[in-house]
Amino acid sequence: MMHEIPKKQFMGDNSLRHYVVPQGVTEIGDWAFAGCKNLVWVAIPESMERIGREAFASCAKLEAVYCYRETVEQKEEQVAELMALALRFFPETTEMIFPQKAGRHQWLCDWDKACRRFLDRPDEEGFRPFLAGGEEDYEDEEEKREEYCRAKRLIKANVILKRLLLEEEVEGCCLPEEENLYFKRKLQENDMALEVFRECVNKPALVVKIYEEAGILTQETYRKVLETLPKERVELRAILLQRTVGVGMDEWMI
């Protein structure tokens, strides 16, 4: 019986879309799935004890990491998105594997703490410029640094929204009031928050509610957001139009 997925086993395998780690496996090695750009979901058995360093780094499409008991049908659905985010972006959470073992409440508390550490770190953390020499390279470095930081802020805004959506949708996933206010403040301060909003396709009513509670969407900002909202975001546009005072439907064609 296989007890380990070796280090770098599937690294860079772009043909991999889904993977069920066999029951009995206790460890996933460092960088085992790193760079699997088309990997969408992974199922991990209850036997798992350790997930190695950056095992899922640069898995840009990874949406869910399910934890299952004896069969894949017995899997933890409701925190799968948060598990994927933790393994992609929170390096210190590799030991925080199973909600079933810690209990969901404790698991979510641990996730929230790890998320706060991630959000509070400088956006440029992890930036590694490559300089060939010459003044022009330093100018290019600043551009790359800003691009890197912008991408990091976009990730952070998405992570916050995922957590706040889970709170709204799933019973037992509520945030303490202090944590709720913290996440909404962080969303409000993030200059990429509206970029995330403009791309929202799923659960538009809940997303609008969260952005209103965070103070990002107000009577003063509805019109500005509508001006920049892609026309294909029909549901979002309709919801914002209902909340906008003094704007005629003929002026804002859906």
Kindly state whether residues 86 and 155 are assigned to the same domain.
no
Lowest mean pLDDT of 9-23, 117-131, 203-217, 236-250, name the range: 236-250
Given phi > 0 = left and psi -120 to 50 = alpha, else beta, which region is 243? alpha
240: amino acid identity, one letter: L
Mapping DSSP to helix (H, G, I), strand (E, B) and coil, where does residue 145 land?
helix
Q: Are residues 148 and 48 in the same domain?
A: no
Q: What pLDDT, on the 0 to 100 scale, is given for residue 11?
A: 96
Q: At 213, is the pLDDT very low, low, confident or very high (cuts 50, 70, 90)?
A: very high
Backbone angles phi, psi at 45, to 5 degrees: -75, 160
pLDDT of 100: 63
Cα–Cα nearest to 247, from 229, 220, 228: 220
Q: What is the mean pLDDT of residues 244-253?
A: 53
Average pLDDT over residues 206-223: 93
pLDDT exceeds cutoff 70 at 252: no
pLDDT in tens, 23-71: 999 999 999 999 999 999 999 988 888 888 889 999 999 999 998 876 6
Query: Could you tell me if residue 137 is inside a domain?
Result: no
Q: What is the mean predicted confidence (pLDDT) over 217-227?
A: 89
Q: What is the pLDDT of residue 254?
A: 45
Same domain membership, residue 76 and residue 176:
no
Residue 193 and residue 186: Cα distance in Å, rounded? Answer: 9
Angle at 87 between CA 188 and CA 11, to 5 degrees: 130
The 8-class DSSP code of residue 65 comes to E
Domain limits for position 227: 144-254
Asked if residue 130 belongs to a domain, the reply is no
Whether 210 contacts 177, CB under 8 Å: no
Count of structural domains within the chain:
2
Helices (H), ranges, the chain? 80-89, 99-102, 104-120, 135-169, 177-189, 193-198, 204-213, 222-228, 234-243
Asked whether residue 227 falls in the same domain as residue 164, the answer is: yes
% of the chain with per-residue pLDDT over 90: 48
